[in-house]
């Protein structure tokens, strides 16, 4: 009788029933995972590690071709080879690459006393986590209540108001890859950034991602929507005031948003809505790095300004609706967020992602429904796509988002008719097949053998077509 397979702790493995795709999916969720063999040849890179390699200028296809090649050809700054020693022990290392500083664990892989390779993976994915981790260790050690079950990720997000990270910018299109590359490049430049993009493209997400990977990430991220502040309150909201400076001023005065953002980042969304009488004051902040509280003295501040707009600021300048000198101060680095219609290949990924976040069990999006989503022009961009998925899912009775559900929501004038005509034959064939199956099943009261015979197909083929057309 064969002995059951045992793991390195002597536990039985005969109940191990994960498939290879399931194993890969699990490994892909381990941040920064790299596996090499005993000769230092690359055996596996997790999904986010492949993205990092792409930031070094390597395409996704080329990254996959690196399997079997020396790890230094993939990542020249990798320290994983230091674990290629049978006597080596697990070690904590710090790394810096493509604008990311992090901490990883590296350790050798030993099997039957022989070195078969090494692996490393992230435990602290960037320098914000590293700094905050040591802060927490110090704080909690002093209180003598350090709890190693604490979720460090949640603690850091709670303390530093990290709403989004660069990993939250979803997409595999060339346009999104280029945007991410530019974010990495400009994040540590500390220059003023102007984000330009249509409504719903994710400008706030980009601003938060920049802050998250910048040197200011351990400082505050203060967000202001310039369209949401009454004009008469702008100055006090942005720059604060001293006690008694005007009727109704609070006792002790009040900090303004710029003062609150000291040592961090301030994000001015819809900057085109900034009143003309405030624009010279913002210009002075950018030039002098100081503010004037209402009724008070000058206060020096250390901030990075990120602004965003869905308007053409140069056109507003030509119409004397925006100061030219302020425009040039803001537009030191320009980032353009691509509209969804220019990255249609990301629609499926975004739609599937949104479907997984809905508080309702859904089976998916039918083939024809997905084609319709890809034909639609999305004037409201990603925000509109998420809204459509939400609405369609909540009214679905079958668990599927179907073409008919979407046609009730999507305005016909924004559907690409040319693309529809190209795919008409396939759509007609699928619809006719589904209608014929339903009619046959109805005629024979659900008897699948008789329905299959009437349709001229085998019973197993009928089952296949029923699954394909989502017929219960």
DSSP state of 41: B
Q: Flag whether pLDDT at 42 surpasses 60.
A: yes
List the structure tokens of 443: 């005629």
- Which residues are 193's β-sheet partners? 306, 333
Q: What is the dihedral of CA 196, 197, 203, 209, to 10 degrees?
A: -70
Describe the crossing of helices 203-213 and 174-187 by its angle, rounded to 10 degrees.
40
pLDDT of 16: 59
pLDDT at 162 over 70: no
In this predicted structure, what is the pLDDT of residue 136?
54
- Shortest CA distance to 262 belongs to which of 220, 323, 215, 199? 220
Q: Is the pLDDT of residue 4 over 60?
A: no
Where would I find the beta strands (DSSP E) of 210-369?
221-225, 265-269, 290-292, 298-300, 304-309, 333-336, 364-365
Would you state the pLDDT for residue 191? 92
- Residue 364 or residue 47, greater confidence: 364
Report d(CA 321, CA 314) in Å as an integer.
Answer: 10
User: What strands lie across the sheet with 304-309, from one edge to the other?
Assistant: 221-225, 265-269, 304-309, 193-196, 333-336
What pLDDT was estimated at residue 385? 96
10 Å CB burial of residue 139 (0-12, 13-18, 19+) is exposed
Q: Which CATH superfamily is domain 166-336 in?
A: P-loop containing nucleotide triphosphate hydrolases (3.40.50.300)
401: phi then psi, degrees, rounded to nearest 5: -85, 120
Q: Output the average pLDDT for the chain.
A: 81
Lowest mean per-residue pLDDT among 25-34, 47-56, 341-350: 47-56
Structure tokens of 211?
Answer: 């802050």
346-468: CATH number: 1.10.8.60
What spatial distance separates the first Cα and last Cα of the chain, rounded to whole Å? 46
The candidate with the shortest Cα–Cα distance to 392, out of 429, 360, 423, 350, is 360
- Distance between CA 72 and CA 4 in Å, rounded? 39
In CATH terms, the superfamily for domain 20-123 is PAS domain (3.30.450.20)
> How confident is the model over 378-430, as pLDDT tens digits?
999 999 999 999 999 988 888 899 998 898 899 888 887 654 445 566 677 87
Residue 157 pLDDT > 60 = no
The count of C-alpha atoms lying within 13 angstroms of the C-alpha of 348, restricted to the half-sphere facing its C-beta, is: 8
Q: pLDDT tens across 200-248, in order?
A: 999 999 999 999 888 888 788 999 999 999 988 898 899 988 877 776 6
* pLDDT beyond 70 at 62: no
Percentage of the chain modeled with pLDDT above 70:
80
What is the rounded distance in angstroms from the CA atom of residue 292 to the CA atom of residue 216?
Answer: 23
- CA 236, 239, 241, 246 torsion: positive or negative? negative
Q: Residue 174: in which H helix or E strand, if any? A: helix 174-187
Whether the pLDDT of residue 160 is over 50: the answer is no
CA distances from 362 to 92, 366, 394, 398, 470 (A): 42, 11, 9, 8, 13
pLDDT tens profile 106-117: 888 888 888 899
Min mean pLDDT across 221-230, 339-348, 449-458 is at 449-458
Q: Which of 125-139, 229-243, 257-271, 336-350 has the lowest mean pLDDT?
A: 125-139
Which element (helix H / strand E) includes 413?
A: none
Return the structure tokens found at 216: 């200011």
Residue 166 pLDDT > 70 = yes
| Per-residue pLDDT band at 440 (split at 50, 70, 90) | confident
Contact 195, 203 (CB under 8 A): yes
The pLDDT, as a whole number, for residue 454 is 87
* pTM above threshold 0.75: no
Q: Which residues pair with 97 in a beta bridge?
A: 100
Q: Is 279 exposed, middle or buried (0-12, 13-18, 19+ CB in 10 A)?
A: middle
* Predicted pLDDT of residue 379: 94
Please, which pLDDT band fits residue 1 given cuts at 50, 70 and 90? very low
HEC states along 90-136?
A: CEEEEEEECCEEEEEEEEEEEECCEEEEEEEEEEECCHHHHHHHHHH
According to the per-residue pLDDT averaged within each range, which of 338-352, 353-367, 443-457 is highest?
Answer: 338-352
Alpha-carbon span 449 to 471, nearest angstrom: 16
The helix-helix angle for 424-443 and 367-375 (nearest 10°) equals 150
In this prediction, residue 81 has a pLDDT band, given cuts at 50, 70 and 90, of confident
Task: Copy the structure tokens of residue 5.
Answer: 């397979």
Instruction: Report how far apart, in Å, the C-alpha atoms of 18 and of each of 7, 109, 170, 294, 335 are.
Output: 15, 21, 28, 65, 43
Cα–Cα distances in angstroms (integers) from residue 303 to residues 257, 262, 263, 277, 307, in the given order: 11, 5, 5, 22, 13
Which sequence spans correspond to the domains of the chain? 20-123, 129-160, 166-336, 346-468
**pLDDT of 338 above 90:** yes
pLDDT of residue 224: 94
pLDDT at position 417, please? 66
* Rg, the chain, Cα only: 28
């Amino acid at each position: 009788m064969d002995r059951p397979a045992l793991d390195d702790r002597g536990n039985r493995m005969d109940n191990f029933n994960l498939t290879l795709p399931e194993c890969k999916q699990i490994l892909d969720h381990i941040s920064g995972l790299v596996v090499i063999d005993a000769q230092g040849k690359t055996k596996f890179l997790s999904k986010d590690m492949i993205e990092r390699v792409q930031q070094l200028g390597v395409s996704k296809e080329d990254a996959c071709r690196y399997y079997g090649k020396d790890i230094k050809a993939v990542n020249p700054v990798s320290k994983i080879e230091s674990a290629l020693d049978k006597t080596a022990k697990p070690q904590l290392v710090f790394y810096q690459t493509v604008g990311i500083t992090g901490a990883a664990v590296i350790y050798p892989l030993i099997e039957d006393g022989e070195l078969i390779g090494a692996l490393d993976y992230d435990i602290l994915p960037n320098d914000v986590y590293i700094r905050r981790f040591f802060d927490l260790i110090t704080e909690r050690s002093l209180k003598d209540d350090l709890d190693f079950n604490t979720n460090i990720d949640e603690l850091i997000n709670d303390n530093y108001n990290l709403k989004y990270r660069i990993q939250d910018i979803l997409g595999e299109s060339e346009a999104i890859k280029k945007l991410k590359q530019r974010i990495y490049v400009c994040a540590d430049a500390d220059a003023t950034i102007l984000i330009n993009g249509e409504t719903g493209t994710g400008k706030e997400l980009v601003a938060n991602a920049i802050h998250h990977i910048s040197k200011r990430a351990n400082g505050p991220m203060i967000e202001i929507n310039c369209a949401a502040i009454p004009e008469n309150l702008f100055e006090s909201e942005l720059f604060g005031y001293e006690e008694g400076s005007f009727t109704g001023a609070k006792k002790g005065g009040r900090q303004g948003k710029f003062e609150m953002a000291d040592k961090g980042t301030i994000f001015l969304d819809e900057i085109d809505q900034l009143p003309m009488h405030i624009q010279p004051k913002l210009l002075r902040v950018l030039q002098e790095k100081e503010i004037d509280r209402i009724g008070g003295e000058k206060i020096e501040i250390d901030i990075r300004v990120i602004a965003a707009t869905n308007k053409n600021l140069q056109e507003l300048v030509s119409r004397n609706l925006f100061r030219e000198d302020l425009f040039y101060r803001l537009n030191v680095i320009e980032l353009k967020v691509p509209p969804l219609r220019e990255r249609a290949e990301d629609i499926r990924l975004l739609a599937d992602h949104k479907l997984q976040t809905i508080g309702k069990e859904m089976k998916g999006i039918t083939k024809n429904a997905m084609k319709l989503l890809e034909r639609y022009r999305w004037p409201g961009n990603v925000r509109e796509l998420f809204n459509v998925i939400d609405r369609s899912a909540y009214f679905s009775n079958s668990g599927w988002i179907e073409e008919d559900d979407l046609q009730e929501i999507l305005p016909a004038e924004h559907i690409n008719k040319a693309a529809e005509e190209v795919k008409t034959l396939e759509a007609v064939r699928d619809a006719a097949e589904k209608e014929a199956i339903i009619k046959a099943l109805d005629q024979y009261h659900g008897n699948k053998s008789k329905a299959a015979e009437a349709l001229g197909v085998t019973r197993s083929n009928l089952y296949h077509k029923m699954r394909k057309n989502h017929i219960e």
